[in-house]
Amino acid sequence: MKRKFLYAVFFLIILACSVFALMPRLRLEHANNNVAILTDYREILILAKNSGLEVDEALKILIDNGLTGLMVSELTGDNLDHGIGQAEIKKIRDAERETEGTVISILPESPYKNLLNKWLRIRFAISEDNIAPVFLTMPSNMLKTSGIIPDIDGLETAKRLGLKIYYRPAPSPGHLSERASIMLEEVNKLYPVSVFTPSGEFVSGYPDVSRMAKKAHELKIPLAVVEFSRQVGEPQLNALASPLLIPLHSVTNEEMTSRKISRTALRDRLIRAAVERSVRLLLLRTAPANTSDFLFKDFAQEVKLLADELKSHGFNLAWPAPVFADKNPGKNIFAAWALCAVFIFALSKYLIRMGINPDKKFFVIAVILNLILTFAAFKINSVSRLVGAFTAPLIAVEASLLAMDENKNRKIIPAFLFIIIGGLALASFFSVTAYMLRLNTFSGVKFTLILPPVLVLLHDLKKRIHPESLIEFLSRPPLWGEIALFGVLLAGIALIIFRSGNVAFIPGFEAKIRVTLEKLLIARPRTREVFIGYPSLILLNFLAAKNYFAHYREIFRIGVVLGFSSVINSFCHFHTPMFLILLREFNGLWTGLIVGLIAVAAVKFILIPALKLIRPLIS
């Protein structure tokens, strides 16, 4: 009883330190409630014309339905070559010198020809000030993806209708890399830019992206961080532009086509980004290639449905601000102590379970080690990353072994409370700007999928929870059932690791289950917990009580570990609102237990009788 009381006091102190350290994050999450819906000006221009509407008329309808901002891009050579914008590009060739050049001229009928000519000369560092065509001594194919002039039609439309401007500077050719940042400043003088993201495969100027980041800070223009972007140089730009960052989610037309994403799935994906990952800019595109059966009224209805669903989740349809621009939460010494205390406790428990019994000096050594690790983790980033990377899997291991402990009647609730407190300790320490904005990657996520099954398997073999020791297991021929189960286990772990990202492939039926659970429970429990972890725990309890399948029960123990690993990984998503994480784990517990009871009923009343009829496999 005394030991239980000391454990309770110990974990209450850890919980108090964690909650105290989490308060800045909770306040930021509460204040960060504005979400903006954006769309692409050029896509709306085409869609409006196809529906017989003027672009202003169409955009006013979208504004009434919830549209907040307009994406306007810098036009490239390829755009001009296809007749987009108020300039034209021509290839010229000098036969005598065998050289090729390019002439760019502003259309004479353009009402903005003076401004565009000025911008054109600024873009290519030409000192002369006139309206003559610009001659460039570079072939036109070098300008296909390079920025030429801003899309002034889109800028004027956004300014006229009071829409926020999301500007996309294009790359600059070679030696003119600084021109992209200069043009951002020039555009901002007349058309205030609310947020920007460089376009193209490479950030302009890469590998030196500092000019663009410096300009963002000078002009105080936030950078839109596009989720899952593969743009070269984007991580470096995000780091330099921090904390002027606002997360944005977008699905490209190519992805919609290749992955056959439906319009409903697209809307669900945007909602999920806002609710689960704190994304505050949602770029809603029209149908790919503006297919003939997709009309403006369909898109207007989609904007309204998206806006209504965002409101139903408690969001305000308003322009968001960079979360950490004014408040920059740093490391907390109390959180460092809580994290290191959980690490030492979980490590000690595993060593004890493996037969390493502590002596009288153990407690004193643990306290001293905790203090040393606390200050090291607080001061040294590499130490904090290392401690976090090992703490997460050790928490999952201890929670799993506690839940499966046959001498304690499988303490599911204490195991669940332990992993929640451990998860809060992890979250409290790593709830800092770099991790919440995903500038730094937490080292423990993938590690937690691999290490816990290995540690639990070693424990089970040493403690003879599996009927055989490791030597006995390796010295005999394998059973066909073991080979099959081992193959299933390897395939399952590989699939889990492969699918551990936010954009991993999932089959259609699972996507429908996810959406249904989200609508019913608000916070959808994770698949590994509901359909693997907790059901494995209930089945394991049943099989052990009945002494069924002794040689095959290890597969269920590994399933339990995978489930608890998923729980701790939820706390490692530092951009997810804390309330949502806690609600998700509570929902995962009770729904998983229900699924487990159903599985037990199926095994007891269907599988076991069927196997008895075939052959006496139960032993």
Q: What is the pLDDT of residues 355-371, one digit of tens each?
A: 887 777 888 888 899 99
As a whole-number percent, the residues of the chain with pLDDT over 90 amount to: 54
CA distance 508 to 331: 41
- pLDDT(247) > 90: yes
- pLDDT(188) > 90: yes
Of 96-105, 303-312, 576-585, the least confident: 96-105
pLDDT band at 509 (very low <50, low <70, confident <90, very high): low
> 546: which 2 tokens?
């009945």
Query: Which of 356, 573, 326, 328 is closest to 444 using CA atoms?
Result: 573
The predicted model gives 116-122 an average pLDDT of 92
The predicted model gives 494-522 an average pLDDT of 60
- pLDDT(497) > 70: no
- pLDDT(50) > 60: yes
What is the per-residue pLDDT for 380?
92
- pLDDT(492) > 60: no
- pLDDT(502) > 60: no
State CA 33 to chain mean position distance: 18
What is the per-residue pLDDT for 205?
81
What is the per-residue pLDDT for 508?
56
As a whole-number percent, the residues of the chain with pLDDT over 70 amount to: 87
pLDDT band at 256 (very low <50, low <70, confident <90, very high): confident
Annotated domain spans of the chain = 2-26+327-614, 33-317
What is the per-residue pLDDT for 91?
86
The residue that leads in pLDDT, 483 or 18, is 18
pTM here is 0.87
What is the per-residue pLDDT for 469?
62
pLDDT band at 618 (very low <50, low <70, confident <90, very high): very low
What is the per-residue pLDDT for 473?
61
Q: Are 370 and 333 in contact (CB under 8 A)?
A: no
What is the per-residue pLDDT for 503?
45
For 309-353, the pLDDT digits (tens) are 999 999 999 999 998 876 667 789 999 999 999 999 999 999 999
Q: Are 194 and 166 in contact (CB under 8 A)?
A: yes
Phi/psi region, residue 105 (left: phi>0; alpha: psi -120 to 50; beta: rest), is beta
Question: What's the mean pLDDT when you consider all of the chain?
Answer: 86
The continuous run of DSSP H or E covering 101 comes out as strand 99-106
What is the per-residue pLDDT for 474?
62
pLDDT band at 585 (very low <50, low <70, confident <90, very high): very high
Q: Are 523 and 272 in contact (CB under 8 A)?
A: no
- pLDDT(437) > 80: yes
pLDDT band at 372 (very low <50, low <70, confident <90, very high): very high
The predicted model gives 212-234 an average pLDDT of 93
pLDDT band at 290 (very low <50, low <70, confident <90, very high): low
For 151-185, the pLDDT digits (tens) are 999 999 999 999 999 999 999 877 678 888 999 99
| Residue 440 burial class via C-beta count within 10 angstroms: exposed 0-12, middle 13-18, buried 19 and up | middle
- pLDDT(448) > 80: yes
The predicted model gives 27-45 an average pLDDT of 93
- pLDDT(606) > 90: no
The predicted model gives 365-387 an average pLDDT of 92
pLDDT band at 255 (very low <50, low <70, confident <90, very high): confident
The residue that leads in pLDDT, 112 or 475, is 112
Query: Which of 526, 65, 30, 525 is closest to 314 using CA atoms?
Result: 30
The predicted model gives 414-437 an average pLDDT of 94
pLDDT band at 511 (very low <50, low <70, confident <90, very high): low
The residue that leads in pLDDT, 386 or 138, is 386
Q: Are 32 and 323 in contact (CB under 8 A)?
A: yes
Full 3-state SS string of 510-579 = HHHHHHHHHHHHCCCCCHHHHHHHHHHHHHHHHHHHHCCCHHHCHHHHHHHHHHHHHHHHHHCCCCCCHH
What is the per-residue pLDDT for 360?
72
- pLDDT(15) > 50: yes
CA distance 553 to 545: 12
The predicted model gives 514-534 an average pLDDT of 80
- pLDDT(514) > 90: no
pLDDT band at 504 (very low <50, low <70, confident <90, very high): very low
* Right CATH for 33-317 from 3.90.79, 1.10.20, 3.20.20, 3.30.420: 3.20.20
What's the angle, vertex CA 501, arms to CA 499 and CA 593, rounded to 5?
60
CA distance 41 to 102: 28
- pLDDT(3) > 90: no
CA distance 272 to 276: 6
> 374: which 2 tokens?
């606390």
